[in-house]
Amino acid sequence: MVSQRYYDKDEKPYALEFVVEPNSTVLVITDMQYASGCRTTGLGKRMAESGKADLLKWRFDRIEQLVLPNIKRLLAFFREKKLKILYLTVGSILPDYSDAPAYMRQRFQETNNYEGSREHEILDEIKPMKGEYVLNKTTRGAFSSTGIDSLLRAFGANYLIFTGISTDECIESTIRDAVDRDYRCVLVEDACAATEEEFHRVSVLHHQKKWGRVASTDEIIKELSTL
């Protein structure tokens, strides 16, 4: 699967242009869990059992063929260079889901997503290593239900490199709040996925125009390698 460009580089964006600086850059891996990132568990399993697996074919094909391989490449690079890595997960800590806001509770219940369940775990291919930070959120945006801002300040972070799922939901929500706090955000287009291609396309376009930069995995690795 070849990554596509969804934005016009000749069009002047509202977002600030910038170059990332390695020592103040954090790779953010968002919600790459069995609850919604695997076609045989959680959301994928539920949709298959209801005869609607085809509705998520684009999503899971993209995750398997593009997103996971590219996140693995970015992880390998960041680990080799000893750069900061932050994993975000989404789900309930409590098995009765009472710690989740009402609008998220049904989603967690339908995908069996609570701490301790297989669905809550990060995909085996990109499991965190010792010393890599994991924050769990109960909302779409990480700034609403975690201490991400204080953690990033402690890291000395100015630049956030976003990957994972879903482009138009948890990633976009977190980016909007991050930009409001003056972080410079890069969306790695070929390391993200949404439920449908159109949702992904529109979210990428909005990001490029309003909130930050859009780049490929190759571009980020090259940029950080030459600085």
Mean local confidence (pLDDT), 66-77: 98
Count of beta carbons in the 10 Å neighbourhood of residue 30: 28
* Residues 22-225, CATH architecture: 3-Layer(aba) Sandwich (3.40)
Q: Does residue 2 carry a pLDDT above 50? A: no
pLDDT of residue 1: 40
Cβ atoms of residues 208 and 7 within 8 Å: yes
Residue 177, C-beta contacts closer than 8 angstroms, at least 6 positions apart: 141, 142, 143, 144
Cα(20)–Cα(147) distance, integer angstroms: 23
% of the chain with per-residue pLDDT over 70: 93
Name the residue among 128, 134, 144 with its Cα closest to residue 89: 134
Query: 116-129 pLDDT, tens per residue?
Result: 999 999 999 999 99
- Residue 179, classed as helix, strand or coil, is helix
pLDDT of residue 222: 95
Band (8; pLDDT cuts 50, 70, 90) = low
Q: Domain extents for the chain? A: 22-225
Mean local confidence (pLDDT), 175-182: 97
Name the residue among 152, 153, 157, 167 with its Cα closest to residue 208: 167
Q: Is 91 left (phi over 0), alpha (psi -120 to 50) or beta?
A: left
Query: 25-41 pLDDT, tens per residue?
Result: 999 999 999 999 999 99
